A and B are shown apart, each in its own frame.
Chain A
Amino acid sequence: MLGVISIQYVAEFGYMAASALFMLGLIKLGKVKSARQGMSWAAFGMAIAIAATIALLFADDHWSTKSVLLAAASAIAGSALGYWMAIKVPMTSMPEFVAFFNGLGGLASTFVALAEIPRAAHLQLSLADLGDKDHPGEGAMFAIAAGLAVLIGAVTFSGSMIAYAKLAGKVNKNRAGPLGSQGLNALLGVASIALGVWGGFFVSDPAQIYVAGGALLVVSLVLGIGLTMPIGGADMPVAIALLNSYSGIAAMTTGFVLQNNLLIVAGSLVGASGIILTQIMCKAMNRSLSNVLLGGLQDAGDGGGAKKDEGYTKVKTTSAEELAQVLDSATSVIFVPGYGLAVAQAQHKVRELATLLEKKGAQVRYAIHPVAGRMPGHMNILLAEADVPYEQLYELDKINDDFKNTDVVVVLGANDVCNPAATQDPKSPIAGMPVLEVWNARTVVVVKRSLASGYAGIRNELFQMDNSLMLLADAKKALEDTVTELKAL
């Protein structure tokens, strides 16, 4: 008995160490230099957590040989698959990858909570009675937490899969029949709560418990699809950040099911992280979260009729040759990357051009808008992959005042993040959104495949300003040609 108790103590201290390592790891993630070390601390914390759990399960005789075999086989399979995917995934597909992983995390929490159902059915108890141990209210907490874990985990899973499909370009629609409408979502929300309460408190018949659990799972999965469908493809940074948060919240609720503080700590940290990223993204678009979730801007853009390519009367187009000449005489250059850069996979070409310009004595910087790309920090990892030093990447408010002292700004597949309407036209749908004021530079060259509008569906006066030139081409091709021309000069 003494042995068991002391192992429980040791395991509990192990959980505390793991919690501390997660927090320290995230603190170290606050600086580029210590980030890697921070993540290895967090990974070490995870190893301690797993070891402590296994020790605890053995000490209490919860684990048989069968348990060991099942756990080992699943863990090895999962680890191998996870490692393989992590090594294989190209940096340009990182948004889809993160969305996919989010979904798996959510589903894991759902399954942990669902596993209580066969146990309750086996003992012919209701979930609330199953969770009742020595304190009043414990059973209710157990039943509610289990229901929430199934609900939130399943919403995370199906929502993430839709986000994944949208990011991978497999789904573009915002509606599919009644799916995605607010009415159906509200109905599904009410149904999930009703099922959770019924299944958690009022049934002890095995068949009925199974029905309640299965129905809750299905309703939650459909709800996740319905909640993510209306979010526009370009609003995915917000969706992924929010789903990231959900996966943490799902893990946190399983902590209340299993009465485990470590799950609550780790889940809360992830939940808080996702919520902060969501806030940052919304602020960078000057929109409220509800506006993003309901796909508000998308509708406004469609109705406005401004989505056409036409309407630009005095656009000056240019060529790679001319761009090379303009850059040749520049002493300061700022690149503004956007999603187009990621699509064209032009990050290495930018780096090549930048190196060439630096050799000629020009100062080269990159201006990164918070919502450029398809996930928070998307541009930063792409440019990091191309060996662009991170000191050359500047945030919006750090570089916005410098555009007026800059010779050439090259906009690469970005649009709305440098639309002057945001600061000049109070009636514009994006009025008030913080934008990169590239038009203040001496010359702006916009490299873009067409004059089509961005996600906001509005025209961009930047395209026909006196000091701007349009280079209508794929970013990679355009940069490649510019490098060749510049070398020939």
Chain B
Amino acid sequence: MIAVIAAEGSSSLPFLIVGVWVLLLSVFVGFIIIQKVPPTLHTPLMSGSNAISGITIVGSLYCVSVEYVEASTVCAVLGCLAIAMAMINVVGGFAVTNRMLQMFKAKDAPKSGAKS
């Protein structure tokens, strides 16, 4: 691979290599971070990560750019649907997570001796 790139005189690495590096590191970071989330917060974690998976909004915004829309109306339709669905995920996901987290309250009645 490196020989081929060198032969073509390319100075930068292809995205595949960079992307796989990023993938590898992100997966490890993800595993380490998520393992520390306590079971109490697993439902907010799921809805919050749902909201983050709405990052496809970035991709879907490309689908309504000129080269796509001029290629075919199908692109425009797919792009619009993708934008709408990604935004449902982003806005709905963060809103519902916030709604849930708001409910988590520390003890308001200090007299009960439930603390261990």
Contacts and interface: CB of A to CB of B under 8 A. Distances in A.
Interface of A: 22-23, 25-27, 29-33, 35-36, 39-40, 42-43, 46, 49-50, 53-54, 57, 61-64, 66-67, 70-71, 73-75, 77-79, 81-83, 85-87, 89, 91, 94, 97-98, 101-102, 104-105, 107-109, 111-112, 114-115, 117-119, 121-123, 134-138, 141, 240-241, 244, 247-248, 250-252, 254-277, 280, 355, 358, 363-365, 368, 370, 375-378, 380-381, 384-385, 387, 389-395, 398
A280 B36 CA distance: 12
Interface string B104-116: 1111110111111
A64 to B, nearest CB: 5
A259 B4 CA distance: 21
Nearest to B108: A389
B30 A272 contact: yes
Given A91-B100, A270-B53, A277 B46 contact: yes
Chain A interface helix/strand/loop/mixed: helix
Interface of B: 1, 4-5, 8, 10, 14-16, 18-19, 22-23, 26-27, 29-31, 33-72, 74-76, 78-109, 111-116
A378 B43 contact: yes
Contacts of B107: 389, 391-392
Contact of B85 (A104, A115, A394, A395): A104
A27 B33 contact: yes
A386 B26 CA distance: 37
A30 B47 CA distance: 14
Given A111-B79, A265-B26, A255 B66 contact: no
Contacts of B72: 118-119, 121-122
A86 B105 contact: no
A122 to B, nearest CB: 4
A387 B74 contact: no
Given A70-B64, A74-B83, A391 B106 contact: yes
A50 B57 contact: yes
Contacts of B16: 135, 137-138, 141, 256
How would you classify the secondary structure of chain B's contact residues: helix, strand, loop or mixed? helix
A248 B88 CA distance: 16
B45 A82 contact: no
**Residue of B4, B15, B31, B116 with most chain A CB atoms under a 10 A cut-off:** B15
B115 to A, nearest CB: 6
B71 A123 contact: yes
Given A250-B56, A380-B42, 5 more contacts: A35-B44, A53-B58, A98-B50, A264-B26, A389-B114
Contacts of A112: 56, 59-60, 62-63, 78-79, 82
A385 to B, nearest CB: 5
A33 B41 CA distance: 11
Residue of A73, A135, A398 with highest tally of chain B CB at under 10 A: A135
Contacts of B40: 32, 368, 377, 380, 390, 393
Nearest to A69: B64
Contacts of B65: 57, 62-63, 67
Contact of A119 (B67, B82, B88): B67
| Chain A to chain B: the 8 pairs with minimum beta-carbon distance, closest first | A272-B30, A82-B92, A78-B87, A377-B42, A118-B72, A135-B14, A78-B84, A268-B26
A393 B114 CA distance: 9
Contacts of A40: 98
Contacts of A392: 107, 112, 114
B30 to A, nearest CB: 3
B23 A264 contact: yes
Contacts of A381: 43-44, 100, 103
B19 A255 contact: yes
Contact of B59 (A77, A109, A122, A276): A109
B26 to A, nearest CB: 4
